[in-house]
Every structure is written in structure tokens, then in C-alpha cells.
Amino acid sequence: MTRVTRRRFIQSSATAAGGLMLAFHVPAFGKAKPFDAATGGSEINAWILIDPDDTITIRVAQSEMGEGVMTSLPMIVADELEADFKNVRAEYADANRSVREGGVYNRMLTGGSSAVRHSRPYLQQAGAEARERLVKAAAERWNVAPAECYADYGKVYHRPTRRSINYGAVAADAAKVSVAGVKIKSPRDFDLIGLPTPRLDVPEKVDGSAVFGMDVRLPGMVYAAVVHCPVLSGTLRGFRFNAVRDKPGVIAAVRLERGVAIVAETFWQAKTAAEALPIEWDIGEDGRAFSDSMQRDFVAALDKEGALVDNQGKAAETMDLADKVIESQYVVPYLSHACMEPLNCTVQVSPGRIDVWAGVQDPLSALKAAAETAGVAPENVYVHNCFLGGGFGRRSHPDYVREAVQVAMEVGQPVQMIWTREEDSRQGQYRPMAAIRFKAGFDISKNLIAYTNHSVTHSILSGINPDAVKNGVDPTSVEGLSNMPYRVANKRITHTIKNTYLSAWFWRSVGSSQNAFALECFVDEMATAAGMDPLHFRKRYLADRPEMLNVLDQLAQKSGWGKRMAYGSAQGMAIHECFGTICAQVAEVTVTEKGGLTVDRIVSVVDCGNLVNPMTAEEQIESGIVFGLTAALYGKLTIENGRVLETNFDTYRMLTMAETPVIETHFALSGGDKWGGIGEPGTPPVAPAVCNALYRITGRRIRSLPIKDYYLSRA
């Protein structure tokens, strides 16, 4: 009996003519390939290859994990190139080449909502220089001055005679000429940038041909399942391989730094053998850790003096003179990244060469990790990046790549190593726990005159780049707090680093994820103390931020802020700036008579300055909302006896389609030289907007997440 997978079903649903019998719209142009390099054609520069049939391959140095970079970055190049975008295909840039050629692809890390922000200038330059080389080559062929020629829509034209030639016909000559002093376009001159453009990776993801890390298959490949110590800081004492050696398909056991891998002919054989393997762990003192006690320790640390982040005016003295003082503290738990595609990596070891197939956010980091593990020069490692089934920061850490390389080296065969979702949940690099305290003082006229903030957070950078931690402050931990946008003459901001045995890593929107929740909820508390509407309070203390005022004005108009709501329903608001982008949201929430909660509608207004592809930008804001709403409603890791209890989607819940609210996204673009990120700014305002709405319904402030831990009732 033939097993029919979902992918096989989709592929078999295609007609003989190549169309789909399913009800999908497939763009007719473009292709996106993760690691299949284009062959033939003429390389105009490291980014652009043009075939004689006019196919243009644009290389992408960033990772496609759903954010649309396989389309938006080629759009930047194609706009300057004056290309016909229907002839454009995209492929990943080669990390090995970047190593060999002195970083020719610049930054290959995908994170921090920076793909467009950091890449745009040099991608524009690459497209502009290639265009001028094509023009010069055509001019030389016609024996005319390049100034008499211009490029448009995939052709070079000679103005006086109206002669034209396709890019493909002149590409080989263009590869041999040089140009200098080429200027790039300003936003007012863009033709393609700013237009809603279908994604190049959609056809492959619809017809099932897209290659994710889990899809890689090599001749003679075997599989590895890994078991790590259930307490993250624990170590392996020993195991009895003889107990599983004779199980079907089992090939070998490989001792790792933090666990053991079982290698077998199929992953199921490897997994079942690994689960049956008798293992002795050295748990250590962290086997007595509990998340509740961790949280109490974080809150207790708020009572101690922290490192100074910002100090303006005389906050303490002014607070003592205040007519009214309010104080609140907020707490957020550790969170998992919970990527849909489990962590995996395929490695083939050959004489003098290591090949790695995986979906990674930083191929250069993966390459370096593989080289160090194998003890070879980086020039001998080839990373074939795949599409990513979710990253959110997790796939920028190369721990799983190191393990896969070690296993492949010991086994001597191509190996695909997979961490089960349970292993990822127990061994993951988590969003940090944090406790945050605010204090605000008002004068007799209810003006805000003093403000203090102290945060205690597990530091990410102290574990990977201690030099980036200055004067006891991890800058990622105080994002959104250190640059608090509200105008207060007297303010003092302090911070304390408090690490635990758990690991901390970059999580979608990093420090802004917890800090926006705490700050924007406290802003609503300040508005209540001042007797003001939350919108008017924000506008009053953002008076010197016109771009934020514009976003708030449009948000009020688009959301119908202040409209009459049914009993049990209310609106809540939040605004936050991160990664160069302002995002404000209004959430409409309902609490039923029995305490049920629905988030009915979320309206966003975003100012990222300029947009490359409005279609994917809107998708990213929507994605960030779903990600942030999942965390706000359900996200929590519980530690008992040093072990993470939430190990799969049955205990670590995701927002379902049925629970997803109506989402509206609007852009209030300020233009100019501003190019803000878009992948993460949609996440931070969600939790405070929902919690502020819940206060209006219940009369109760939610100061710790997730919301599911609260009993909700109408006031």
C-alpha cells in the first residue's frame, strides 16, 4: 500500500498541463529556490546572473522564513536594474562564497527586522551598477555613446534610433565591462518598489516542491534522534547502548556534550530506540528549580538598586513632592519559540569537505559552527540553506548544527538529525523572564511630573557577547524602556541582570515583547490616574513626536476609537516603536457572562517610513499579531524540578484559526530616509492593547502573563 503524504497529494493534484485542480491562485512569474544554484548565464555581479533567455537570477543573502524576503529583496535589485519582474527568479546567496570572497554578501544574518533596513542600499547599488554595465555593453555593440542609451523593462534602448536589445543578448558582454560612480534611485523614482507584488516562493509552497530542511534526502542517508538531559544544565553520565543495539534499523549511538544520539535507518526507528535507551543523567542542583520561585526572586530583585540606564531631572525628589503616586509591577514568563518545523539538520562529510543542509537564520554562523566542530577550515564548509518552517530567532542559534556535524562525523554516512518538538521545548533558547516596576507621580492638577522604572531581566547578550553588556545593562533587555517616548521632565530608569540556569535567546521583537506590554499597560494606568482618555493621555505626552501623533490620529479614525460598545466588550490601545518602526493597535475584546474571552478585532496603523512590498508587509503585521496574541493568551513555560512541563502544542497552546480576530492593517508612511523593519513591530503592542481592553470590561489590571491564568468577569 502506497503511503500518501500531504505533499504527495498536492503534487498529484496537478494536471498534466501543469495547472492545479485545487482552488489556489499561483503567480505566473518567478521562482524561489533555497539552494539550487542557477547554471549557465552571465554573472553581472555577485548578486545578479542573466541567462540568454532573459531569465534574471537574483541572489538573496537573507533567509526566507515566511517574511517574504525572497520577493522583497529581489524587488529592490530589479527596480534599479529596470528589469521585467516576470523574468526574475530568486535563490539563496552562497555563504561559502561569502567566506572565500571577503564577505561579498555582507550581512547574511536574518533577524532584528533588518533585511530591508540593512540590505537596501547595497542591493540598490548592485542593481544600478548592473544596469549601467548592460547599457555600456549595448552601447559598445552599437558603437554609440552610453549617454545616448537607457534601460527599461528588461531592454536597453538607443534614444536616437529607438533600437533595442534584450538583457539576455548583451549580458555576456556586460559581465566584462566596468562602470564607476553609479547613483541609486531616491524613493520618488521607484517603479517597482512600493507596489503590491505576489511572492516568488508561493508556487513551490503550493505545489509541494519547496524544500525545507526536513525535505532533504541524500543517497545513503540515515537518521538521528537526540535525547538531552531533561534539566537544561545537566550532563550525561552514561547509557547502555546494548539495551537497544538489536532494535530494528539501529546503527549507532553517539555521545554528545549534553546528551546522546541514536542513529538508525529511519527516524522512527531512531526515535523509538532513543526513547527506550537506559540513560543516567547528572541533574545537579538545578533539578530543584521551580518557575514560581524564579519569579519570586526576579520580583525581589526589584527592591534592590539597579544599574543606571537613564536619569533626567530629579525623579526621586519630585516623586516625594507629588500629590498622587501610583506604583505597579509586571511579570512575564520564559517563552518558547515553538517553530512549526522541528529543528533539523542534514550533514554529509566528505574528504576535505562538509556539506550542511538546514533552514537557518544565519548561514555564516552555521558554517562557522560546522567548521569548528569538524576541525576544518571555513572555506571547506558548504551550507545549503533551505526554506524555514518558522524561525522567530530560534534558528539563528547553531547548537543543533553542531550536534548534526558531530553525529555525521562519527557515523561516516550522510545523517539527518531531528530534534523532536519535545526536545526543542526542553532544550530551547527561551524568551527571557522579566519583572518590571513602574512608579509615577502627579501634581495637584494631575500632570505627570515624575517617573521611575526598574526592570529585572535574564540577559541574552551576557551569554554570547559579554562585551556588549555595558555598565551592567544588556541593551536588548531595556528596548522600549530606555527609549521610552513619553515626555517626562523627571525620570530615572534602572536595570538589573538576573540569569538562571535556563538559556535565553532572541525571540520575535526581543526585549520589546515584554517591555511594551508592561509600559503600555502602565501608560493606561497613568491615564486613569490623570482622569484622561488613554488616547488623549498618550497624545499629550507625545506632543514632541509628530510621527507618533500621526499614527495615533489615524488609529483613532480607522478603529473608531471611543465608539459605543456592547456590554462586556471594550477597546484597548497601545503604541510602540521598535526596529525603526512605529506600530499602534486597538484591540476590541469581549468577555462573556461565563468568563469566556474573545478578541474580536485588532486594528493596526504602522509607520515604517517606506515599503518595498505592501502585500508582504501587511502579512508580517498580521503574523506578528497572531504570534503576540498567542503569547499573551497562552504563552508560559512552567518549570518543576528543573524540567520544562510544556513540551508540545497540547500543553503549549497556539492561537487557532477560529480564535483569530479580524485584523486590519493600515500604513501611515512618513517617507524620507526612514526604512523601518516590519517582521517584528506587529508583536509588542498586542498584549497591552488586549489587557487594556480587559481592564475596561473587568475593572481589573492584568500585570502578569498569560491571560489564561486569570479568572475574567464583567465589572
Residue 396 falls inside a structural domain? yes
Query: Which residues, 6 or more positions from 421, have their beta carbon under 8 angstroms from its beta carbon?
Result: 342, 647, 648, 649
* Average model confidence (pLDDT) across the chain: 95
Predicted confidence band at 452 (pLDDT cuts at 50, 70, 90)? Answer: very high
More confident residue, 3 or 91: 91
C-alpha separations of 436 from 306, 433, 462, 491 in Å: 12, 10, 19, 15
Question: What does the block give as the cell for 651?
Answer: 500543553
Residue 360 falls inside a structural domain? yes
Residues 60 and 179 in one domain: yes
Residues 511 and 385 in one domain: no
Could you say which of 159, 178, 207 is where a domain stops? 207
Residues 448 and 573 in one domain: yes
DSSP letter at 190 equals: -
Length of the chain (residues): 715
Predicted confidence band at 39 (pLDDT cuts at 50, 70, 90)? Answer: low
C-alpha separations of 189 from 185, 194, 611 in Å: 6, 11, 14
Q: What is the pLDDT of residues 529-539, one digit of tens each?
A: 999 999 999 99
Q: What is the pLDDT of residue 428?
A: 81
Residues 326 and 384 in one domain: no
Q: What is the pLDDT of residues 487-526, one digit of tens each?
A: 999 999 999 999 999 999 999 999 999 999 999 999 999 9
Q: Is a pLDDT exceeding 80 seen at residue 178?
A: yes
Residue 529 falls inside a structural domain? yes
Q: What is the pLDDT of residue 712?
A: 97
Residues 463 and 396 in one domain: no
Q: What is the pLDDT of residues 649-658, one digit of tens each?
A: 999 999 999 9
Residues 524 and 657 in one domain: yes
Q: Is a pLDDT exceeding 70 seen at residue 708?
A: yes
Mean pLDDT for 151-172 is 98
Residue 540 falls inside a structural domain? yes
In whole angstroms, what is the distance from residue 701 CA to residue 292 CA?
Answer: 20
Q: What is the pLDDT of residue 16?
A: 37
Q: What is the pLDDT of residues 74-109, one digit of tens each?
A: 999 999 999 999 999 999 999 999 999 999 999 999
Distance spanning both ends of the chain, measured CA to CA: 60
Residue 425 falls inside a structural domain? no
Residues 370 and 398 in one domain: yes
Neighbours of 407 (CB within 10 A): 27
Q: For residue 328, give the CATH number of its domain.
A: 3.30.365.10
Could you say which of 164, 191, 207 is where a domain stops? 207
Residues 161 and 222 in one domain: no
Residue 623 falls inside a structural domain? yes
Question: What does the block give as the cell for 284?
Answer: 545537579
Residues above pLDDT 90, as percent of the chain: 94
* b/e burial code for range 118-127 (CB count within 10 A of at least 16 → b): bbbebbbbbb
Q: What is the pLDDT of residue 40?
A: 76
In whole angstroms, what is the distance from residue 662 CA to residue 53 CA?
Answer: 45
**Residue 91, Cβ density class (10 Å: 0-12 exposed, 13-18 middle, ≥19 buried):** buried
Mean pLDDT for 282-296 is 97
Q: What is the pLDDT of residues 315-336, one digit of tens each?
A: 999 999 999 999 999 999 999 9
Could you say which of 418, 450, 468 is where a domain stops? 418
151: containing domain: 6-207
Q: Is a pLDDT exceeding 90 seen at residue 2?
A: no
Q: What is the pLDDT of residue 94?
A: 97
Q: Is a pLDDT exceeding 90 seen at residue 38?
A: no
Q: Number of folded domains in the chain?
A: 3
Residues 306 and 166 in one domain: no
Residues 519 and 438 in one domain: yes
**Contact between 258 and 230 (Cβ < 8 Å):** no
Q: What is the pLDDT of residues 358-403, one digit of tens each?
A: 999 999 999 999 999 999 999 999 999 999 999 999 999 999 999 9
Predicted confidence band at 32 (pLDDT cuts at 50, 70, 90)? Answer: confident
Residues above pLDDT 70, as percent of the chain: 95
Q: What is the pLDDT of residue 36?
A: 59
Residues 324 and 356 in one domain: no
- Rounded to 5°, angle at Cα 174 from 173 and 175: 90
Q: What is the pLDDT of residues 10-29, one digit of tens each?
A: 344 443 333 333 333 333 34
Mean pLDDT for 659-671 is 98
Residue 714 falls inside a structural domain? no
Q: What is the pLDDT of residue 667?
A: 98
Q: What is the pLDDT of residues 208-241, one digit of tens each?
A: 999 999 999 999 999 999 999 999 999 999 999 9
Residue 1 falls inside a structural domain? no
Predicted confidence band at 34 (pLDDT cuts at 50, 70, 90)? Answer: confident
Instruction: Report the predicted TM-score, pTM, of the whole model to 2 decimal places.
Output: 0.94
Mean pLDDT for 297-311 is 98
Residues 593 and 680 in one domain: yes
